[in-house]
A = this chain, B = another copy of it.
Amino acid sequence: MARPKSEDKRIALLQAATVAIAQAGISASTASIARSAGVAEGTLFRYFATKDDLLNALYIWLKHDLGSIILQQVDFEAASPKQQLNSVWDNYIDWEITHPLANACMRHLAVSGKITQETEQQVANMFPELDRLCESRIRPIFREPPLRAFGDGLFLALAETTIDFAIREPQRAPVFKETGFETMWRALTNADNPA
């Protein structure tokens, strides 16, 4: 098979890279990543041909992890659409709070200029059902092509800001979560049809 020998080592490398990049930015050296993954310097390059390849694989891996956790915990039985969206919101933020290194790492990757268009595309198509769920709760103007991406962007911006504050002051996380959600709700949904 094309995949190299040990999936364990691949995961170990991705995890080590997450920690290293969270702490040192993308300038974290491949040597340090390999070392904390418990493999030799050269081995890293058998799993990822290039440092940039590692960065892109890592981005996808983290996004996938995040998305699948959110999805698997959404409360589809929730009474109202608002409650359903609130469940997504909370899961999203909870995951980031419990994975602050992953969060920091993704931020670094996102602004690194190393993530290719192709990678971004792959991530965008990763969980169509999640996108659909969010969009259906959103005010009409943000639902159609011309402003759809913009709506997504605003949603993410609010969520990420909420996460920043929640990570920085964990004991106040519930307040930030709730206030953030209500703010997003006012911002992006049809206020006339609140629930």
Contact = CB atoms under 8 A, between A and B. Distances in A.
A179 B143 CA distance: 13
A99 interface: no
Given A111-B108, A111-B111, A187-B186, A176 B158 contact: no
A162 B153 CA distance: 8
Given A40-B2, A111-B108, A186-B187, A158 B165 contact: no
A92 to B, nearest CB: 15
Contacts of A184: 187
Contacts of A161: 150, 153-154, 156-157
Contacts of A25: 111-113
Interface majority SS (helix, strand, loop, mixed), chain A: helix
A188 interface: yes
A160 interface: yes
Given A27-B27, A107-B111, A186-B187, A176 B150 contact: yes
A11 interface: no
A180 interface: yes
A164 B153 contact: yes
Across chains A and B, which 8 residue pairs bring their CB atoms closest together, nearest first? A187-B187, A157-B157, A157-B161, A153-B161, A183-B187, A186-B186, A150-B165, A186-B187
21 contacts: A2-B40, A2-B42, A25-B112, A108-B111, A146-B172, A146-B175, A147-B179, A149-B165, A150-B161, A150-B165, A153-B165, A154-B158, A156-B161, A157-B157, A157-B160, A158-B187, A183-B187, A183-B188, A184-B187, A186-B187, A186-B191
